[in-house]
Amino acid sequence: MSLNFAAPSMDATPVYLTDAQSLKDVLQALPEPVQTWADAQQFKGAFGTSLLCPDAQGKPELALLGLGDERARRRQRFCLAAAAASLPSGIYKLENDFPFQNKHYEVLGWLLLGYSFDKYKSSKGKNIKLVAPDWVDVTRIEAMASAEALTRDLVNIPASDMGPDALADRAAQLSAEFGATFEVIVGEDLLQRDFPMIHAVGRASATAPRLIDIRHGTSGPKVVLVGKGVCFDTGGLNLKPGGSMGLMKKDMGGAANVLGLAKMIMALKLPVQLRVLIPAVENSVSSASFRPQDILTSRKGLSVEINNTDAEGRLVLADALSYADEEDPDLIISMATLTGAARVALGPDLAPFYASSDDIAAPLIKAGEASLDPVWRMPFWDPYETMIESQIADLDNAPSGGFAGSITAALFLRRFVSKPERFIHFDIYSWNPAAKPARSKGGIGQGLRAILTALPDILELK
């Protein structure tokens, strides 16, 4: 699997981009036989269509890619990838420009056509390579593609091969690749180092819980990424039904996403002091399982009443957020496949995020639109604070009533940071239910390009 641009080649097939409005002008600039062929094939430049035009010997002379009309492009992302996917294997080069503000990310979509999850079954997919256009930032786009592939792979690998130990190994490999420092706190050492809720959630598993800690960079603003690493979630003693357990290998999607984001930040040498914290656990069932109505005391000192062991993600994140907060960073970002409520509210495409500051939220929204990585701001709704407060403890991990589940989870996490105005929380799904342009079915990154693109504005980087 290669997610890089092709080297320039004399054998590259020229590609002309068009839509319904520009088709006539594009064809008029091409040889008459091409015009005749396009007319005979009834090519209209519709979304996701392509036409290979032969020369006099019947060999491909050039290709036309249809980008559709404005309405079609509003209904789907990655219009360039949608059209390129129907081309045969080969090397292609763009001959004309297309007037989209996000054209760099459209080209990223082409690269992502090369992704396939082939760990367990060999892939016989096409190899549709693109020569980098002169205007594209090759290093940046290839770094994004590589990071997206890492995130997808981590989510797609089942818990049999991606438990807390394997996740820590992959994090260590990433650290070594970029010369970052790596530490992992395992098992009973979590109690010695005061991470009681991470230990409580993961202690029932045969694979010990752990906290992964990566550091990179020695100057610039301090940025901490905290990712939920629940490598499989049975629900604990509040056991999930079988249908709800089917996708729980992806419950470490937050960890996968922050590792992908960290890879981009390190590869592109953003001038920040980066830290990545991942509480990696399995929420399993055994005599050691934490129980409903247990009271856990967090690293921060806040007591938490357990009213549902299936609301475990916020518990492990809470200890990690407290740890992150102790160094007074300039920005903390948590990412987690935290609640079904977020998925019900926004579906699988939109990444919900919470931010107290408009100065943080506005750049994220703008960057999401520009990078074809849509995000949607959700409210830290203060009147719901009482819903997360217990009568016998400081906090309740699973408020009754079923209302505002994503909001109350975000409010719970906010209690563990001292500067909420510098905290962003993403409640992502990290799964694509059906194949779409540039996005295969399965694990997916959400919010990564939006965050990367927005960071310079948020942190006022030079």
Residues that are catalytic: 240, 314
| Those residues with Cβ within 8 angstroms of residue 99's Cβ, 6 or more apart along the chain or in another chain | none
Contact predicate 426/446, CB 8 Å: yes
Contact predicate 412/395, CB 8 Å: yes
* Strands 273-283, 210-216: pairing kind: antiparallel
Contact predicate 327/222, CB 8 Å: yes
Which residues is 129 bridged to in the sheet? 91
Contact predicate 87/128, CB 8 Å: yes
| Those residues with Cβ within 8 angstroms of residue 295's Cβ, 6 or more apart along the chain or in another chain | 303, 304, 305, 306, 392, 393
Which residues is 227 bridged to in the sheet? 335
* Strands 273-283, 229-233: pairing kind: parallel
Distance in Å from the first CA to the final CA of the chain: 35
Picking from 216, 232, 234, the residue whose alpha carbon sits closest to that of residue 175 is 216
Tell me which DSSP letter residue 115 carries.
-
Distance CA 315, CA 324 (A): 15
